[in-house]
Structure 1
């Protein structure tokens, strides 16, 4: 595998090196791990298209991309409701 050099501030290099060491990885391995965890815009779009197609297949509903885009943020609403319940349980601090 060919390698290359990436220039970053010394503080950034040292921080990444410490994080890598704590995980038992070399700095190069850790940077590769970080890169693999962050999909590109094209990869996210591909994943979204595949997920939508899987949902269409599983449900038998021909939902258009526009309909998906206009759908409510169900997961976001669940997080909001859960956060409200936690705040209420802790004494109502908003």
Structure 2
């Protein structure tokens, strides 16, 4: 496997080294794992298209991408409501 060198601030290197040590891996392995967790814009678009196809098949209705874009953000609303309930339970303001 070919490798390369990247330049980061000393503080960043030290932070990465500590994280790697805690996880029992090398800094290179840690960076690879972190990068693998972050999809590119193209990968996100591909996932969105695949997810929309699944929804179309499951509900049996052909929705256009524009219709998907105009639909309510149900998951976002659920996250918002849950966050509001957590803040209320803690007695903090929104």
TM-score by length of 2: 0.90
- Stretches of structure 1 lacking an aligned partner (at least 5 in a row): none
Deviations, residues 5-64 of structure 1 (Å, cap 9, x unaligned): 011111111100100110111000000000000000000000000000111111111010
TM-score, reference length from structure 1? 0.90
Match of 1:39, SS state, is coil
Cα distance in 2, alignment partners of residues 92 and 33 from structure 1: 35
Note the residue ranges of structure 2 that are not aligned, 5 or more in a row: none
When the two chains are superposed, the root-mean-square deviation of aligned CA atoms in Å is: 1.5
> How many pairs are equivalent?
94
Alpha-carbon distance in structure 1 between the residues aligned to 2:92 and 2:41: 39
Q: What is the match of residue 83 of structure 1?
A: 83
